[in-house]
Structure 1
Amino acid sequence: MTQPEPGTVVVSEAGTGRYTQHVTAGGYEFVVDEPVSMGGDGSGPTPYDFLLGALGSCTAITLRMYADRKNIPLANVNIRLKHDRIHARDCERCDTEVGMVSRITREIELEGDLDDEQRAKLLAIADKCPVHRTLENQIDVQTKLV
């Protein structure tokens, strides 16, 4: 296989388990798998773990960049995320009312000598991270055989 162009992620079956995938991204390599309870080997985080990790890390990086730029005394950021699915009719913020929708719960802990105004601003900035914006907007996934 030829070297992929920059910004391209390559996924291939690892050959070590039924669902185990080998991922190469930006010169880094890692494994994605399903838990044993889903028929996988549990040899790595699940695809949803990586999705949540992308959102959480993007949020933390965005908060850190903003705090540094604005000289906000943010000492540390901890983010806990969870994915589940709910009935669309139970989603107050959703446009659709039929079927199921994905829900990500994100809890942000901000450490540091922060006043209420700084905390509120940082919470608003959290929603501006690029991955958050991508997930909240329509995504056009184009698939083709090669």
Structure 2
Amino acid sequence: MGGDNLGPSPYGLLLSGLGACTAMTIRMYADRKKLPLEHVSVKLSHQKIHASDCEECDTKEGQLDDIEREIELVGDLDDETRQKLLEIADKCPVHRSLHGEVRIRTSLLKS
């Protein structure tokens, strides 16, 4: 492998994709609805946790990925609008891919 550990980690790249997708989805919705959203920022963290420590999770054995997502919405937005934008965050395509069933097909290429 090698390297100097100066680049992003694989999980860092995954979180970057989720964060960018979340912010863009919220921004596009706010623009379409002409909402006074001035700025949106998304902070993410990832850790592995034991499934037994997650009461709301379907998986009960082994470890699972735990992603914490914090969203800051700046603008003259009432509580109802903020809540709607929070719901819209879950509509981001990357969030939906991570939350749904994923099939990964791998094949070996001839060299």
Give the TM-score normalised by the residue count of structure 1.
0.72
Task: Name the structure, 1 or 2, with higher relative contact order (CA <8 Å, separation 6+).
Answer: 2
> What is the Cα deviation at residue 75 of structure 1?
0.3
- Unaligned residue ranges in structure 1 (runs of 5+): 1-16, 19-39
Structure 1 segment 1-146 matched on structure 2, within 5 A: 18=2, 40-146=3-109
1: CA distance, partners of 2:39 / 2:55: 31
SS in 2 for 1:44: coil
Q: Render the CA deviation track for 1:98-141: whole Å, top value 9, x for unaligned.
A: 01100000000000000011100000000110000000011111
More strand by share: 1
Letter in 1 for 2:42: I
Count matched residues: 109
SS in 1 for 2:71: strand
More helix by share: 2
Q: Render the CA deviation track for 1:48-81: whole Å, top value 9, x for unaligned.
A: 1110000000000000000000111100011110
1: CA distance, partners of 2:5 / 2:57: 33
- Structure 1 segments of 4 or more deviating over 4 A? none
Q: Render the CA deviation track for 1:13-44: whole Å, top value 9, x for unaligned.
A: xxxx71xxxxxxxxxxxxxxxxxxxxx41221
1: CA distance, partners of 2:96 / 2:75: 26
1: CA distance, partners of 2:54 / 2:92: 22
